[in-house]
Chain A
Amino acid sequence: MRALDLKLVRDLRRLWAQALAVALVLACGVATLILAIGAYRSLEETQRAYYDRYRFGDVFASATRAPRALIDRIRAIPDVAAVELRITEPVLLDINGVAEPATGQAISLPDRGEPAVNAIFLRQGRLPDTGRDLEVVINENFAEAHGFVLGTEFHALMDGVKTKLRVVGIALSPEFIYALGPGDLLPDDRRFGVLWMNERTLAGRFDLEGAFDSVSLRLLRGANEEAVIEQLDDILAPYGGTGAYGRKDHISHAFLDSELTQLSAMARVIPPIFLLVSAFLINMILSRLIALEREQIGLLKALGYHALDIAWHYLKLVIMIALVGVVIGFVAGTWLGRGLTVIYSEFYTFPFLIFRWSTDIYAIAALVSIAAAIAGAAKAVYGVLALAPAVAMRPPAPPVFHQFMGSAGRRIRLFSQLTIMALRHIARWPVRAALSTIGTSFSVALLVVALFSIDSVDYMIDVIYFQSERQDATLTFAGERAPSVLPAVANLPGVLRAEPFRELAVKISHGPRERRLGISGKQRGADLSRVLDLDMRPIALPETGLAIGERVADILEVKRGDLVQVELLEGDRRIVDVPVTEIIQSYVGLAVFMDMDALDRLAGIGPRVSGVHLEIDEAATDALYASVKETPALAGVALQTVSRRLFQETIEQNILISTMVYVILSVIIAFGVVYNSARIQLSERARELATLRVLGFRRAEVSQVLLTELGVAVAAAQPLGWLIGYGFAYAVIVGFESDLFRIPLVVSSRTLAFASLVVLVAALVSALLVRRRIDRFDLVEVLKTRE
């Protein structure tokens, strides 16, 4: 081995602790990059393959009752590749041992052959036999939630008739990757199931022989989806069509997509933080190493080594450190990424999983990390090139210090000489102090980002469940009903108050911008389900016009007073201009509200109700549940407490895992920054600190000089970290915002305190590790040598 390389190996061995601290920070960058991109690609690929193999639809539409003969007209729409006509009907489920009513969606399977669109993956059992009405295939999550196996029997209320069903198959479907029950925010597998049944059976039960009420299309590649949707709407309009929509508005697809968006956002935001911090650390370590070896560098040059040889020598050191980080990152990233993908695939119940960990991700991660390390080394290495041999062999010029505030500072004795030493040191190397501060602040910021979601979700839960949607339960009717049903609902056992609502499917447009959504009509004075203004105050809906949620207002670019065009997607499909009279707060879905009377006038067919919000006497819930299970007119029951609990559980579980990961990541950054700063200061100031010991200062007093400087950097990093964390949190919120959810930006002082606490503890531990070295100073040795 060449002599210089031997030096390299020995340098690395000597600097191992500092090198490892940098390598770990770099490894976090590599791992998060591989994790995010790998998981993103795997999920995207799995999703794509799943959709492809099981022919997930591109366009979906429903109608009240349309003749099957329409199939030829639908097929004739340009760009349509396949058409599947189905019957899908909401049903109420009655499961032994479950008090709350559950809802199901019955979906027809063709009597012969596979569906042309939206096939199912049969995990167990078989398809229902033709002519046997009892047989049903259920979705796997629902089966698991109730322990249902092949042969299990349960009851469903189908078009008013209590029917016994027997499970003959358990399946998965690309339509229900995210299986959401009516009125729920998150999947509740106990309370929502998908029931695939024979077409003939369902047609008989729901009086739809020779007809269909739902259609799914697959389109050719490059198809004009908008045009297809328009033509399909035209065909279905006379049959109670409620407007076709594309995948974008398909709830299961939208949820999966927003998950993928978050992963790719993570790949863009998190790894650069680590790369930045490691570049700074490398700069710090290498500058110090080169300062210490200044005379050796001069000597090497004097001996005839080319400046580039020496520069390459130091670059190799940096590359070695980077490689250690890259390898650790590869292993951690692959391991975590596979874990994450498996967790996702279990959550979303994919029938198979495609891992996409191609070499290019690793190559990119390795190159980017090594480039970051070299960038960090650039300035220090350039110094080596520029150093003339004769200059190098002389000791460097002593650093110049300045007094604070001129002579005024001298008269006021604010600080001890020890503190002045620390402060002057900061003032002498302000860039380094600033970089240490920024580096540490990133670890605070990461924790703020990890933890603020708890605050935001708490806030969201409070707003949604305690200020806005305060009902105990929501009953949804199968189709619209006349208001005359309301007394019957009010007479159900345990009902203390009932407030009807109406949902109307429309397309709202404002200039070139348009969106398909539902307008909710609420009765004047509704007090259970309330509409809140932007300041979170409940408001009465204006007598005319629309109250539009912030998200919708952003999408349509409307403000209060603008006129929007509302196209009804059912009935006579009228197009009406309606003013926007209020912009309101909304965190879930695309909220548009209207006074119920105004909505009835808009719809034009007289008063109708879609469902009822209820306040329930808790003592009578079981009786209420029992009678709801027997009420044929109901399509779904949403229970507010159950849904809130589920919401909290799901979020808390996710947050717990991600918080742990973020705590580890930020501790690594804090450790990397503080430990390296301390080590370098110790190396620069060993003589000074040993002199203090000789002069009779205690160990604690000497450590104070070093720790004051670190303490200032770490303390300054807190508010800065909060600020950066707030910025990151804002970016996350914007990235997360979708038509499904909009998260409020709430950062509590508890979150800031916790983030700071973790970082302060990590910093303290790293500082104490270095302090042990002060205790082991060889006083005699230090004094003998000239610096």
Chain B
Amino acid sequence: MGKPLFTVSGLTKVYQTGDVTVHALRGVDAVLYEGEMAVLLGPSGSGKSTLLNILGGLDSATAGEVRFGEEDLTGFSDRELTLFRRNHVGFVFQFYNLVPSLTAKENVALVTEIAPRPMAPEEALGIVGLSERVDHFPAQLSGGEQQRVAIARAIAKRPEILLCDEPTGALDSKTGVLVLEALTAVNSEMGTSTAIITHNAAIQKIAHRVFFFSDGRIAEMRENAERVEPAEVEW
């Protein structure tokens, strides 16, 4: 296992929604290593998305500390967080979030234009197996293809960390497998640390480690002695 990429200690997140106080995270401690693939499992509201958003610099913690390598993310300003996302983080969302007015290649170029050491958009699309569809607009692509464009967009900047929130949530199992194959390929070939949030317990088998979330805490962490190829995952 590589060096620690993210070190999280005592992470707490409290939301105030009207009169209701929601404790999304209640003192989470965890380490994410370079090159590892982690799956975060747990029911809705268990805190996994909140953790992912804080790691990705989309949200800030109420208390506790998040270290990215040597840097303390908790103290970052809005501007520094923007730069952090731009340079280090790749996101993949459940609903793809592609820009409808840009083609597949242009959606990737959107990111490569501002990243410090990007790969060519064509190369990124090649990694996810979409070399033939580079000039199609999102509306001309299937859901699985759109999600793979989103992955290509996320990896094209050569991020240190790929954060995926329910990447197969909107897809059927056959298409979902293609997406997971793209993610494992990126992880093994480029060595990009990957964190995947899912409701789908079957997916845990492709990870190095699995974190089980419950009520704002990590209830359990399990290391997979033997990983399974995405093609063998069924749901």
Chain A residues within CB distance 8 Å of chain B:
397-401, 403, 407, 410, 416-418, 420-421, 424-425, 428, 687-688, 691-699, 701, 779-780, 783, 785-787
Would A400 and B82 count as touching, CB distance under 8 A? no
CA distance A400 to B140 in the complex (A): 9
Would A417 and B109 count as touching, CB distance under 8 A? yes
Report if A403-B113 is in contact (Cβ < 8 Å); known contacts: A695-B91, A780-B59. Answer: no
Between-chain CB contacts (< 8 Å), 12 pairs: A399-B100, A400-B137, A401-B101, A416-B113, A421-B102, A691-B99, A694-B91, A694-B97, A695-B110, A696-B86, A780-B59, A785-B95
Report B50-68 CB contacts with A as 1/0, cut-off 8 Å: 0001001011000000000
Q: Which residue from chain A places its CB closest to the CB of B78 in the assembled complex?
A: A699
CB distance from B217 to the nearest CB of A (A): 20
Report if A691-B97 is in contact (Cβ < 8 Å); known contacts: A417-B109, A780-B53. Answer: yes
CA distance A698 to B99 in the complex (A): 17
* Chain B residues within an 8 Å CB radius of A783: 58, 93, 95, 97, 165
CA distance A474 to B15 in the complex (A): 87
Would B106 and A398 count as touching, CB distance under 8 A? no
Would A688 and B85 count as touching, CB distance under 8 A? no
| B114 adjacent to chain A (CB < 8 Å) | yes
Would B111 and A695 count as touching, CB distance under 8 A? yes
* Chain B residues within an 8 Å CB radius of A785: 95
How many of chain B's residues have a CB under 8 angstroms from any CB in A?
38
Q: A401-B137, A696-B89 are in contact. List 13 more A-B contacts (CB 8 A).
A: A398-B138, A401-B102, A407-B135, A421-B99, A694-B97, A695-B86, A695-B111, A696-B87, A697-B82, A697-B114, A779-B58, A783-B58, A785-B95
CB distance from B172 to the nearest CB of A (A): 16
Report B189-218 CB contacts with A as 1/0, cut-off 8 Å: 000000000000000000000000000000
Would B85 and A698 count as touching, CB distance under 8 A? no
Interface of A is mostly: helix
CB distance from B67 to the nearest CB of A (A): 20
| B228 adjacent to chain A (CB < 8 Å) | no
> For window 141-172 of chain B, which residues contact chain A by CB distance below 8 Å?
153, 165, 170
| B219 adjacent to chain A (CB < 8 Å) | no
Q: Contact partner of A688 among B79, B100, B170, CB < 8 A?
A: B100
Q: Contact partner of B82 among A398, A399, A693, A787, CB < 8 A?
A: A693
In order of increasing CB-CB distance, the 10 nearest A-B pairs are A696-B86, A398-B139, A424-B101, A696-B85, A691-B97, A417-B110, A401-B101, A786-B95, A779-B58, A421-B101
* Chain A residues within an 8 Å CB radius of B82: 693, 696-699
Report B25-55 CB contacts with A as 1/0, cut-off 8 Å: 0000000000000000000000001000100
Residue among B49, B89, B106 facing the most chain A CB atoms (10 A cut-off): B106
Would B89 and A420 count as touching, CB distance under 8 A? no
CA distance A418 to B110 in the complex (A): 7
CB distance from B120 to the nearest CB of A (A): 13
| B12 adjacent to chain A (CB < 8 Å) | no
Would A401 and B100 count as touching, CB distance under 8 A? yes
Would A696 and B114 count as touching, CB distance under 8 A? yes
* Chain B residues within an 8 Å CB radius of A697: 82, 86, 114
CB distance from A433 to the nearest CB of B (A): 13
CA distance A397 to B106 in the complex (A): 21
Q: Contact partner of B99 among A416, A428, A688, A693, CB < 8 A?
A: A688
* Chain A residues within an 8 Å CB radius of B106: 417, 420
Would A417 and B100 count as touching, CB distance under 8 A? no
* Chain A residues within an 8 Å CB radius of B138: 398
CA distance A417 to B138 in the complex (A): 15
* Chain B residues within an 8 Å CB radius of A417: 99, 102, 106-107, 109-110, 113
CA distance A787 to B170 in the complex (A): 13
Report if A424-B83 is in contact (Cβ < 8 Å); known contacts: A401-B137, A416-B113, A780-B53. Answer: no
* Chain A residues within an 8 Å CB radius of B74: none
CA distance A563 to B227 in the complex (A): 109
CA distance A398 to B138 in the complex (A): 9
* Chain B residues within an 8 Å CB radius of A397: 139
Q: Contact partner of B135 among A403, A421, A779, A786, CB < 8 A?
A: A403
Would B85 and A694 count as touching, CB distance under 8 A? yes
CA distance A399 to B101 in the complex (A): 8
Would B101 and A428 count as touching, CB distance under 8 A? yes
Would B102 and A420 count as touching, CB distance under 8 A? yes
CB distance from B223 to the nearest CB of A (A): 30
Residue among A398, A696, A699, A780 facing the most chain B CB atoms (10 A cut-off): A696
Report B66-84 CB contacts with A as 1/0, cut-off 8 Å: 0000000000000100111
CA distance A93 to B23 in the complex (A): 95
Would B102 and A424 count as touching, CB distance under 8 A? yes
Q: Which residue from chain B places its CB closest to the CB of A407 in the assembled complex?
A: B135
Q: Which residue from chain B places its CB closest to the CB of A416 in the assembled complex?
A: B113
CA distance A787 to B138 in the complex (A): 14
CA distance A449 to B83 in the complex (A): 49
* Chain B residues within an 8 Å CB radius of A779: 58-59
CB distance from B25 to the nearest CB of A (A): 14
* Chain A residues within an 8 Å CB radius of B107: 417
CB distance from A401 to the nearest CB of B (A): 5
* Chain A residues within an 8 Å CB radius of B56: 694
* Chain A residues within an 8 Å CB radius of B95: 783, 785-787
CA distance A695 to B137 in the complex (A): 19
Q: Which residue from chain A places its CB closest to the CB of B52 in the assembled complex?
A: A780
* Chain A residues within an 8 Å CB radius of B114: 696-697, 701
CA distance A785 to B102 in the complex (A): 20
CA distance A672 to B139 in the complex (A): 33
CB distance from A778 to the nearest CB of B (A): 10
* Chain A residues within an 8 Å CB radius of B137: 400-401
Residue among B93, B95, B165, B170 facing the most chain A CB atoms (10 A cut-off): B95
CB distance from A91 to the nearest CB of B (A): 80
CA distance A693 to B86 in the complex (A): 9
CA distance A688 to B138 in the complex (A): 13
Would B101 and A425 count as touching, CB distance under 8 A? yes
CA distance A785 to B170 in the complex (A): 12
Q: Which residue from chain B places its CB closest to the CB of A401 in the assembled complex?
A: B101
Q: Which residue from chain A places its CB closest to the CB of B165 in the assembled complex?
A: A783
CA distance A428 to B100 in the complex (A): 11
CA distance A701 to B139 in the complex (A): 25
CB distance from B44 to the nearest CB of A (A): 11
* Chain A residues within an 8 Å CB radius of B100: 398-399, 401, 688
CA distance A401 to B153 in the complex (A): 20
* Chain A residues within an 8 Å CB radius of B111: 695-696
* Chain A residues within an 8 Å CB radius of B170: 786
CA distance A418 to B101 in the complex (A): 10
* Chain B residues within an 8 Å CB radius of A696: 82-87, 89, 111, 114-115
* Chain B residues within an 8 Å CB radius of A688: 97, 99-100
> For window 104-129 of chain B, which residues contact chain A by CB distance below 8 Å?
106-107, 109-111, 113-115
CB distance from B169 to the nearest CB of A (A): 10
Would B58 and A780 count as touching, CB distance under 8 A? yes
* Chain A residues within an 8 Å CB radius of B91: 694-695
CB distance from A155 to the nearest CB of B (A): 82
CB distance from B157 to the nearest CB of A (A): 8
* Chain B residues within an 8 Å CB radius of A786: 95, 170
Report if A403-B103 is in contact (Cβ < 8 Å); known contacts: A416-B113, A687-B97, A780-B58. Answer: yes
CA distance A359 to B103 in the complex (A): 59
CA distance A697 to B82 in the complex (A): 7
Q: Which residue from chain A places its CB closest to the CB of B56 in the assembled complex?
A: A694
CA distance A697 to B115 in the complex (A): 10
Q: Contact partner of A694 among B58, B98, B115, CB < 8 A?
A: B58
* Chain A residues within an 8 Å CB radius of B109: 417
Q: Which residue from chain B places its CB closest to the CB of A691 in the assembled complex?
A: B97
Q: Which residue from chain A places its CB closest to the CB of B91 in the assembled complex?
A: A694
